[in-house]
Amino acid sequence: MIPAEQINQILTFPALVDAIEQAFTQDISVPPRLHFDMENPKAARETTLLMMPAWQAGDLAGVKLVTVAPENSKKQLPSIQGIYLLFDVDTGSLKTTLDAPSLTAKRTAAASALASRFLSRPDSSTLLMVGTGTLAPQLIAAHASVRPITKVLVWGRSLAKAQQICQQVAHLAIEVEAIDDLETHIAQADIISCATLSQQPLIFGDWLVPGQHLDMVGAYRPDMREMDDSCLTKARVFVDNFEGALRETGDIAIPLATGVLTKEAIKADLFALSRKEYVIEREQGDITVFKSVGHALEDLAAAKMVYSKL
């Protein structure tokens, strides 16, 4: 079992960003992930079980088993828990197991940074981090590895938790400030990264200004949203993978169902961007949205990177 501490030491940015970009250009088999909502009478919301397999012919295969319990913060437990199993395709033998939450946090942040490298303005210098969970410090570090970030604003429902995130990223030697008012600060940001368990929009199109890039990481269920419809109608929209994004996240599925958004309006996913099948020509005033739902090849790329360093 490779623990979180070792995974965090090995998976650095932007090396992991590069590895995931390469993975999106390779022939990796990824069946649709299995998503089960398990009723939990002890909480107001279900606990979600995710099973995500991926493999490369003749090389390695991986399966991630993860649970998401949204109310775990009340129990002083992480909301995401699980394990990653890495197998040898040739022999079928188990090579190693890895701590899934740390692997997930690293690869999710790297995927967001990869999208930012394609979509955000190259001179983006101010990042607004919305959310104070496990992903927040990883997203800050990942974005700062691909763009010249000099200032980070951190917002959460708890100002104390936002201040804790500031302390966790102090080693980056970037100006970091916890804020308690999202609306009045949002116009200052070049990149807005949002990773929460919110069921209602937190980011509104009326607040946005030209040239911004939105990195939307939360809203992992069809009934959850982090941005309102006008964010989508004002922006050029991209996703990490079409199959998952169209059905798994309320940020995309709900606007599709109501007709606010069409499939054709989603410009490209990370496969097309990484393979140079879609090349964005960004005008200075364009607003871009990247919606991340996660993809098993990202996990496999990260797990292979860890295993290669042992």
Q: Looking at the structure, do residues 92 and 146 belong to the same domain, yes or no? A: no
Structure tokens at 141: 């570090």
pLDDT tens digits, one per residue of 26-81? 999 999 888 899 999 988 888 999 999 999 999 999 999 999 888 888 888 888 89
Indicate if the pLDDT at residue 223 is higher than 90.
no
The CATH number assigned to the domain holding 23 equals 3.30.1780.10
- Residue 306 CB neighbour total at 10 angstroms: 23
Distance, in Å, from the CA atom of 284 to the CA atom of 287, rounded to the nearest integer, reads 9
Indicate if the pLDDT at residue 226 is higher than 90.
yes
Q: State residue 126's pLDDT score.
A: 98
Q: Looking at the structure, do residues 210 and 283 belong to the same domain, yes or no? A: yes
Q: State residue 72's pLDDT score.
A: 87
Domain that holds residue 88: 4-103+298-308
Q: State residue 12's pLDDT score.
A: 97
Q: Looking at the structure, do residues 226 and 252 belong to the same domain, yes or no? A: yes
Indicate if the pLDDT at residue 106 is higher than 90.
yes
Q: State residue 77's pLDDT score.
A: 87
Contact 270, 24 (CB under 8 A): yes
Distance, in Å, from the CA atom of 10 to the CA atom of 274, rounded to the nearest integer, reads 23
Residue 31 one-letter amino acid: P
Work out the pLDDT band at 243, boundaries 50, 70, 90.
confident
Contacts of 91 by beta carbon, 8 Å cutoff, 6+ apart: none
Look at residue 37 and tell me if it is in a domain.
Answer: yes
pTM of the model: 0.93
Q: Looking at the structure, do residues 148 and 262 belong to the same domain, yes or no? A: yes
Nearest CA to 100 out of 118, 85, 110 is that of: 85
* Percent share of the chain, pLDDT over 90: 83
Kindly state the average pLDDT of the residues 212-241: 93
Work out the pLDDT band at 246, boundaries 50, 70, 90.
confident
